[in-house]
Copies of this chain bind each other. A is one copy, B any other.
Amino acid sequence: MKSLGVGLIGTGYMGKCHALAWNAVKTVFGDVERPRLVHLAEANKDLADARASEFGFEKATADWRRLIADPDVDVVSVTTPNQFHPEMAIAALEAGKHVWCEKPMAPAFADAERMLDAARRAGKVAVLGYNYIQNPIIRHIKRLIGEGAIGQVNHIRVEMDEDFMADPDTLFYWKSELSAGYGALDDFAVHPLSLLWYLFGHVDAVVTDMSRPYADRPVKEGGRRKVENHDAAHVLMRLDGGISAVLMANRAAWGRKGRIALQIFGSKGAITFDQERMNEFELYQADGRGSEQGFRKILAAPAHHPYDRFIPAPGHGLGFNDLKIIECRELIRAISGEPSVIVTFEDGLRIEKSVHAMAESFHQRRWIEIA
């Protein structure tokens, strides 16, 4: 396969994270071509130039449409704020580029549907940046479940908590506007939903509570403004096959920094994981003598692929940014027509559909089935 020409739109944290991945993927994995970092777009031309130099891109532009028109670009990383995803992703697909778009697809469901349509029409690879599923530990958990290590799964709990909205004195900003979405639900509950989707498949039915820890927030100019969405959301769910699940998401949970805590219960054991300690998981197996049964803390190791591509020794640990390198390689494999672990626009739409159903359940105060 010829070397991929890469275009990157956006150079905030996720833009940098994509750039790091494009720079490292060949060195880490060896089994893909080294991509060419061709074109970078950032709203301001000076910033675009600076970032192109830092990130190692050949060209820089303040006009993302020029990047998309560049014939040297084969794949476009879209890392701009969510509201720009539909326009950019669709334009790139229509120009015949593959697309690697940060999650979620779009604030409005109809826009997300348009993105999927465009991907289908273009016949190009269109992937969302749900990087948590790329953790070798998560992959290994999937393998263990598939092997029956904990028997038939019957119950799941997942908590996603951070505290960036926990301080009631934080000034009102756009994240609290209704136009930014439901709040915790689409702001980050989509991450644990991607894990549930990856590990267990789709959500069938939901009942939701959403809450507002603080009714209003101070405004810089003085006075207070009413908070328009919900910093916390809690959902009872039924998954494929009747598995019961509880999803809890809270962006106002003091002390939690990047918690995505999974508890998975089966007929023969249990598995737990917390993203704040992303290099370990716990496994309980109900076998052997009862007096020695317990949750086993297992550290990330070369046997948890593809940890071995980064480090040949156990217990040394990957970082958050490494997950993006793994995702990048999966994307390249998908483009090459090889089997890969990715969240396509089709999968992503299903995730967003369940988010909207959750919000609907809250407003109707009853269970909602998801077709």
A residues neighboring B (CB under 8 Å): 13, 16, 19-20, 23-24, 26-28, 30, 34, 50, 53-56, 140, 144, 149-151, 154-155, 157, 159, 162-164, 166-168, 207-209, 211, 213-214, 232, 234, 236, 238, 242, 244, 246, 248, 250, 252-259, 265-270, 276-280, 282-284, 286, 289-299, 301, 303-304, 310-322, 365-367
A253 near B265 with CB under 8 A, answer: yes
Residue of B whose beta carbon sits closest to that of A272 = B255
A19: chain B residues at CB < 8 Å are: 27
Q: What separation, in Å, do the CA atoms of A219 and B318 have in the docked complex?
A: 35
Pairs A–B under 8 Å by Cβ, sample size 29: A20-B27, A23-B24, A30-B50, A34-B56, A140-B291, A150-B254, A154-B214, A155-B211, A232-B244, A234-B246, A246-B248, A253-B265, A254-B268, A254-B269, A254-B270, A255-B269, A255-B284, A255-B293, A256-B315, A258-B316, A258-B317, A277-B279, A290-B303, A291-B303, A294-B296, A295-B297, A296-B296, A297-B297, A311-B321
Q: What separation, in Å, do the CA atoms of A77 and B292 have in the docked complex?
A: 36
Residue of B whose beta carbon sits closest to that of A253 = B265
Contact of A28 among B20, B30, B144, B252 (CB under 8 A): B20
A208: chain B residues at CB < 8 Å are: 236
A276 near B246 with CB under 8 A, answer: no
Counted per complex, copies of this chain come to 4
Closest Cβ of chain B to A227, distance in Å, is: 12
Chain A at the B interface: SS class: mixed
Q: What separation, in Å, do the CA atoms of A299 and B256 have in the docked complex?
A: 9
B297 near A294 with CB under 8 A, answer: yes
Q: What separation, in Å, do the CA atoms of A289 and B232 have in the docked complex?
A: 26
Given known contacts A207-B236, A213-B154, A321-B310, A253 and B270 CB-to-CB distance under 8 angstroms: yes
Q: What separation, in Å, do the CA atoms of A258 and B280 have in the docked complex?
A: 13
A286: chain B residues at CB < 8 Å are: 163, 166-167, 254-255
Q: What separation, in Å, do the CA atoms of A299 and B275 have in the docked complex?
A: 12
Residue of B whose beta carbon sits closest to that of A153 = B213
B54 near A314 with CB under 8 A, answer: no
A311: chain B residues at CB < 8 Å are: 13, 320-321
Q: What separation, in Å, do the CA atoms of A322 and B157 have in the docked complex?
A: 32
A304: chain B residues at CB < 8 Å are: 291
Closest Cβ of chain B to A10, distance in Å, is: 14
B248 near A157 with CB under 8 A, answer: yes
B209 near A314 with CB under 8 A, answer: no
A320: chain B residues at CB < 8 Å are: 311, 316-319
Closest Cβ of chain B to A351, distance in Å, is: 21
A367: chain B residues at CB < 8 Å are: 365-366
Q: What separation, in Å, do the CA atoms of A320 and B279 have in the docked complex?
A: 11
Q: What separation, in Å, do the CA atoms of A26 and B20 have in the docked complex?
A: 10
A256: chain B residues at CB < 8 Å are: 270, 315
Residue of B whose beta carbon sits closest to that of A265 = B253
With A30-B54, A258-B314 given, name 6 new contacts (CB 8 A): A19-B27, A20-B27, A154-B213, A166-B265, A234-B236, A283-B292
